[in-house]
Amino acid sequence: MAFSSETRHLRNYVGGCFVDGGRPFDVVDPATGKVHAIAYEANRPIVDAAVAAARRAVEGEWGRMTLARRRSMLVAVAEGIEKRFDDFLAAEIADTGKPHGLAHHLDIPRGAANFRVFADVIANLPAESFEMDTPDGGRALNYAVRRPLGVVGVISPWNLPLLLMTWKVAPALACGNAVVVKPSEETPSTTTLLGEVMSAVGMPDGVFNVIHGFGPDSAGEFLTSHPGVRAITFTGETRTGAAIMRAAAPTVKALSFELGGKNPAVVFADADLNAAVAGLSRAVFLNTGQVCLAPERIYVERSVFDAFVRGMKARAEALKPGLPEEAGVDFGPLISDEHRQKVLGYYRMAVEDGAQVVTGGGIPALSGEAAGGFFVEPTLWTGLAHDARVCREEVFGPCAAIIPFDSEEEAVRMANDTEYGLAASIWTTNLSRGHRVAAAMEVGICWVNSWFLRDLRTAFGGAKLSGVGREGGVHSVNFYSEPTNICIRL
């Protein structure tokens, strides 16, 4: 499935091969609005076949494979992605419309790196053991062994399709599970392409399966409610997470969710203002704001408020939207026209709620093929009350409200005054304040004087409505495996 200008057909990948069947649906290039691929919706029999193939793999060759061999397979997958780097890059860009430089430097390298990281993590995991006295004066030894869960359902999002899919698949396979992956219907290409890599490196049949489709009464619902699936891992919006939780409840599946956010950033007067502007302009506008960690609320100490706003405005207006391969383009489209209408609705709502539009607020004037793409302008507001709807609800677009504050206590209170709790960033040169305020944030991850700086061994996940559980390093291993305690009387 080398990527070219021709319309591609993305079939379901089950038991080590691509299978026919399923209702076709269009996959649209967001940068042009044109169909670039046809995917095939998995019906219930295809999902059943994928789960059965995964179960056979766990009970067969994959389940009997030594840890050393399993790790070598993960490294081979990473090398396979790198060998076909250009194909993965073209597929990711076609599905998302994101600029070439972003996909080249972030999405594809991290997709490969995830397999290498978890090959190392699983090899360096310590085992737990305890000696104990027995009631009759003897001794006993307790130790734990880890076992895979079995079949894991992976539901991955459209904003970072390869990166976030492999972030789940790699640790699941490292622990010895088999997976059935349902990528977003908006971005199925790189997941399908990974099926080719799995075959090429000799991954046993059924270890990696791909089903295409939608949510309710489609592949997503069939997977999350399937009695043969032991666990579901999902990244996406909170409402979808709640629906998956309901579907999984009757069979009491293990769940790991990274959900929505309304992330705050706090800029103190003693911050390096140039660094704060550079860091937060990247945070707000990277991937057209379609990043779960992006700050949509920025609280700035009043004495530097105007200077900060001027700096952010200049950065926003320097961004260049356009087709991914065009020279200098660093700002892509939103994923779909439907999502664009949602974001534009929030742009209008902000004005209705009294916002002063610092910059943006509409659709950029583009020509050629880009005129059919789903672009919006990078947008900043001031003058909004902290409780305005656009300050409470996740927009998931390239926008932020900038709000002044007068004291550390006020900033902390406003930052935490949300139903979400995914990420935050603090900007200050006061070391004590940085530690103190970061620890006060009710989030899963908080950066100080940085954003999106990730050590893949560390815990990642959200609090409150932003998720259930943690991923990363040993935290992923703890989800994708379960310990059995063995007690030996000595």
pLDDT digits (tens, 9 = 90+) for 144-181: 999 999 999 999 999 999 999 999 999 999 999 999 99
Beta-carbon contacts of 145 under 8 Å, excluding residues fewer than 6 positions away, are 127, 483, 484, 486
The mean pLDDT value of the chain amounts to: 97
For residues 236 and 243, give the distance between their C-alpha atoms in angstroms, rounded to a whole number: 11
Tokens of 313: 């405005």
Query: Once rounded to an integer, what is the mean pLDDT over residues 196-203?
Result: 98
Can you give the pLDDT at residue 354?
97
Active-site residue, from 92, 175, 292, 399: 292
Number of residues in the chain: 490
For residues 430 and 433, give the distance between their C-alpha atoms in angstroms, rounded to a whole number: 5
Query: Once rounded to an integer, what is the mean pLDDT over residues 414-437?
Result: 98
For residues 472 and 480, give the distance between their C-alpha atoms in angstroms, rounded to a whole number: 11
Tell me the C-alpha to C-alpha distance, in Å, between residue 222 and each of 22, 208, 236, 422.
14, 17, 18, 28
Can you give the pLDDT at residue 109?
97
Can you give the pLDDT at residue 127?
85
Query: Once rounded to an integer, what is the mean pLDDT over residues 310-316?
Result: 98
For residues 141 and 131, give the distance between their C-alpha atoms in angstroms, rounded to a whole number: 5
Does 376 have pLDDT greater than 70? yes
Tokens of 170: 């790699």
Q: What's phi and psi for 347, nearest 5 deg?
A: -60, -45
Does 107 have pLDDT greater than 80? yes
Neighbours of 157 (CB within 10 A): 22
Can you give the pLDDT at residue 1?
52
Does 26 have pLDDT greater than 70? yes
Beta-carbon contacts of 367 under 8 Å, excluding residues fewer than 6 positions away, are none
The model's pTM: 0.95
292 classed as catalytic: yes
pLDDT digits (tens, 9 = 90+) for 59-105: 999 999 999 999 999 999 999 999 999 999 999 999 999 999 999 99
Let me know if 416 is exposed, middle or buried by CB neighbors in 10 A (0-12, 13-18, 19+). Answer: middle
Per-residue pLDDT band for 6 (boundaries 50, 70, 90) equals confident
Can you give the pLDDT at residue 4?
52
Does 356 have pLDDT greater than 80? yes
Pairing of strands 295-301, 263-267: parallel
Active-site residue, from 41, 92, 221, 258: 258
Q: Which amino acid is at 476?
A: S
Name the packing angle between helices 273-285 and 305-318 (round to 10°): 50
Q: Residue for token digits 């090899």?
A: 123
Can you give the pLDDT at residue 476?
96
Q: CA-based diameter of the chain, in Å? A: 85
258 classed as catalytic: yes
